[in-house]
Amino acid sequence: MSKSKRALLLLPAILASCATAPPAPLPSDVIVCGAEEVFVLSIRRKGEKVWSWTAAEHPEIPEPLRKKFGSTDDCKPVDGGRKVLITSSGGAVALVERPSGRVVFYAAAVNAHSAELLPNHRLIVASSTGRDGDRLILFDLAQSDKPLASDELTGAHGLVWDPERELLWALGTNELRAYEVQADRTTGALVLSRRMTHTLPNDGGHDLRPLPGSPLLNLTTHHHVWQFDRDLLTFRTHPDFGSMENVKCVDVNPASGGTLLIQAEISWWSEHLRFPGTDRVLEFKGRKLYKARWCPSLE
């Protein structure tokens, strides 16, 4: 049996309601993606672009892989906003420093839709539908583009590392999973074991984000926005956005409680970034907005 096949078999075995935004100014920046450019907007400066990144400008990514970043679909700030996890449905993932834009990790991953940092310098990617997709792929941050192992997950789309419960939450087309994360006492390597699987209330799992200071996860499907209680292990419709369709992202500011939201208007994208509970709507005519996340300011 090949080494890669053994890894595939080994992984499964070892391995509040969202507050509406207050009238006070929102303190954080916002990072946005959808096409080849990932950019940061300053809310203090009325939406002025203060940072921009494209793979084409970074030769530390091999040239064939740079072309796969033409349809970025997630842009998560990590490490206090000093780094960004960027995924692209074109088939790639990168960990990028701010403000330099330097790429410190990259990998190919079919239809990559989300990524998350894990303990022991590991990174995991949600590889969505496609040939060699429909799975979670585990990497070591010290070795770009060298998968360690994977686990099948149909339509893998969302990932959240939960340090309080020491669980990785993974969202697929029809299910939400929780994986235990441990370090092997002998080798220090990260291992995952599937702990729980919860069937979604309806299909089309898309975005997955924690509600800060709460046991709730906000998640979207084709036709609804839901909340999942990580303590009670139950779903409920979101009290504010539950009936909204084709919501690509819902993100809550941990400092202000303010919400940002993108709902597809043209095929899979939007030209508007919305802040429910306020009169703020940012328009980007001709742009394809897919995901947005609150992002700590480096100013």
Each residue of 31-45: pLDDT tens digit? 999 999 999 999 888
Q: Under a CB-based contact definition with an 8 Å cutoff, are residues 176 and 159 in contact? A: no
The pLDDT of residue 11 is above 80: no
Kindly state the average pLDDT of the residues 277-299.
91
Single-letter residue type at 170: A
Q: For residues 258 and 252, is the Cβ–Cβ distance under 8 A?
A: yes
Average pLDDT rounded to a whole number, residues 93-107: 97
Picking from 88, 107, 196, 209, the residue whose alpha carbon sits closest to that of residue 148 is: 107
Q: Tell me: pLDDT of 182 over 90.
A: no
CB 100 within 8 A of CB 82: no
Distance CA 290, CA 35 (A): 8
pLDDT at 183 (0 to 100):
65
Give the CA dihedral 143, 137, 206, 296, nearest 10 degrees.
Answer: -20
- What one-character DSSP code corresponds to residue 289? B
Residue 146 tokens, joined: 């060298």
Q: Which CATH architecture has domain 3-15+26-295?
A: 7 Propeller (2.130)
| pLDDT of 2 higher than 60 | no
Taking residue 205's Cβ as centre, other Cβ atoms within 10 Å add up to 27
Query: Binning pLDDT at 50, 70 and 90, where does residue 185 land?
Result: low
Q: Tell me: the pLDDT tens digits for 262-272?
A: 999 988 999 99
Residue for token pair 């929780």: 178
Residue 190's pLDDT is 60
The domain ranges of the chain are 3-15+26-295
Length of the chain in terms of residues written: 299
Sign of CA dihedral 215, 17, 265, 52: negative
Place of tokens 């939007």: 270
- Gyration radius (Cα) of the chain, Å: 18
Question: What is the tens place of the pLDDT at every residue in 226-263?
Answer: 999 999 999 999 999 999 999 999 999 998 899 999 99
Confidence of residue 17 (pLDDT cuts 50, 70, 90): very low
**pLDDT tens-digit profile of 69-88?**
999 999 999 999 999 999 99
**Closest Cα to residue 147, out of 195, 112, 96, 187?**
112
Above pLDDT 70, what percent of the chain? 88
CA 93 from chain centre, in angstroms, equals 11
